[in-house]
Amino acid sequence: MKRILFIASKPFSFWRGPSIRVSHDLLALSQLGYEVDFLTVPVGAPDPIPGVRILRVPNLLMARTLPEGRSLRTLVFNGLLFVAGLSLAWRNPYAVVHGFDDAGVVAWLVARASRASVIFEMHATPVLAPRQPWQRLLAALCSRVERWVRRHSDVVIGASPDTETLTTACNGRVCRIPDVPSALEAPPNPCVSAWRARFAQDMDSLIVTCVASFAKPRRDLTLLFDTVPRVRAEDARIRFVVVGGTPHEIRRQQRDLKRQGCADAVFFAGCVTPTDLSAILSASDILAAPSPDGTHAPTKVLDYLHSGTAIVATNCAANRDVLSSETAVLTPPDPKSFATGILSLCRNPPLRYGLGRRGREWITRSRRFDDFRESLRACYTYVGTRRNRHLGG
């Protein structure tokens, strides 16, 4: 059995898209018969996977979380990952070192020092521009180093449509493996019913749910909450549910809604388990995706499609990656248009059911975990062939 060293510097949380992607990578590699050492930062709690040994670097910074994007703290942890990875590679004959996002550079260094093959996986291109001059300098330097490493990796894996553009002049293979929904199974019916009863005030209630990021800047939340008063003024049956956020973030948002006079129109579910999230999406009548930017669809939109519930989304590149007029109502990114899109679905049940059904059919046909696993198998087979050729085998 071939051994793999998989390195990731992202804080592990089932709530974050990169963490979901890493979980799918590890599960697929385990199912393909690889023995995997997963080396990561001491933040978060990855679920155990058979065949995967979880290893953490020491928490010298006493960190409870890490910020999105590049920072001095992530650089320190990357240094610790390099030392730990080198130590592991000297003791274990790894066939491949697989680096995820920021840890791709670490993986390349460890692989070259141990004569292993290297896979650089990019999950997403950062969309938030650094504010401070030193942050911009650090981001520019890291981007330059990462571009060089990608060009000299054996395989580059990306999730977004612009993967090949970002990996021009790569000496190895460039492979796009799109994300799949986080929920691989349908939620239990009693769980769906329980969440529906919790949200709905009566039989006529209509539930509009949004899985939102509370990270700054919160442009998606701003658009959603600017939409709430317009929708409620037209139809008092509609209640909004927001999934995500810490208790502190939720209290702050509730104060803002109270000043607008519509605090009773929004229910905050907070951060829930993957099973509960899947149940909430299925228990809703409409799902809102006010994504402001990006180049490929967030995992939550894939989960929206998987639930079979109708979707209203902003007409941006990230949503168009997986949505169309056949599977969602797409609107301009302003409160008036977004409210109109929600109300059009509330007033047209056949349209809701049709969009939900077609969305479910598309996601089950186009984004299957079996296809994800087989694409990963093809990449690892290519790496093995390339390695044997270089070694003269």
Task: Measure the CA angle with vertex 257, ends 271 and 247; round to 5°.
Answer: 30
How far apart CA 133 and CA 142 sit, in angstroms, is 14
> Which has more confidence, 179 or 387?
179
Instruction: Say yes or no to pLDDT of 334 above 70.
Output: yes
- Collapse the DSSP code of 328 into the 3-class scheme (helix H, G, I; strand E, B; otherwise coil) and give the result: coil
For range 176-204, the mean pLDDT = 88
Q: Which of 67-71, 115-119, 148-152, 249-253 has the highest mean pLDDT?
A: 115-119
Other beta carbons within 10 angstroms of residue 359's beta carbon come to 26
> In terms of pLDDT, which residue wins out, 62 or 195?
195
pLDDT of residue 105: 93
Task: Give the least confident one: 9-18, 147-156, 305-314, 331-340.
Answer: 9-18
Percent composition of the chain: helix, strand, coil (DSSP 3-state, to 5): 50, 15, 35
Looking at the predicted structure, is the pLDDT value of residue 35 above 70? Answer: yes
> Which pair of structure tokens corresponds to residue 47?
């679920």
- CATH label, 189-366, candidates 3.90.1150.200, 3.40.718.10, 3.40.50.2000, 3.40.50.150: 3.40.50.2000
Average per-residue pLDDT in the chain?
86
Q: Per the structure block, which two tokens stand in for 165?
A: 């553009």
More confident residue, 22 or 294: 22
Which of the four pLDDT bands, split at 50, 70 and 90, describes residue 150?
confident
Report if pTM > 0.85.
yes
Percent over 70 (pLDDT), the chain: 89
Over residues 15-30, mean pLDDT: 90
Supply the pLDDT for residue 247. 87
E strands present in 80-199: 96-100, 117-122, 155-158, 173-176
Single-letter amino acid code for the residue at 336: K
- 173-176: strand order across its sheet: 52-56, 35-40, 3-8, 96-100, 117-122, 155-158, 173-176
pLDDT of residue 388: 61
Each domain of the chain, given as residue ranges in start order, spans 3-180+368-390, 189-366
380 pLDDT tier (thresholds 50, 70, 90): very high
Residue 269 · residue 241 · CB < 8 Å: yes
Q: Is the pLDDT of residue 127 over 80?
A: no
What residues pair up with 36 in beta bridges, in sequence order? 4, 52
Cα–Cα distance for residue pair 169/152, rounded to 1 Å: 9
Q: Do domains 3-180+368-390 and 189-366 have the same CATH topology?
A: yes
Is residue 37 within 8 Å of 4, Cβ to Cβ? yes
CB 157 within 8 A of CB 119: yes
CATH architecture of 3-180+368-390: 3-Layer(aba) Sandwich (3.40)
Nearest in space to 280 (alpha carbons), one of 197, 351, 350 = 197
Res 46 pLDDT > 90: no
pLDDT of residue 313: 95
Among the residue ranges 64-73, 87-96, 124-133, 359-368, the one predicted with the least confidence is 124-133
Q: What is the mean pLDDT of residues 9-24?
A: 84
SS3 255: helix
What pLDDT was estimated at residue 19?
87
What DSSP assignment string belongs to 173-200? EEEE-----S--SPPPHHHHHHHHHHH-
Q: Is the pLDDT of residue 132 over 70?
A: no
CB 240 within 8 A of CB 265: yes
pLDDT of residue 204: 84
- In this predicted structure, the answer to whether residue 179 has a pLDDT above a threshold of 60 is yes
Looking at residue 274, its pLDDT comes to 84
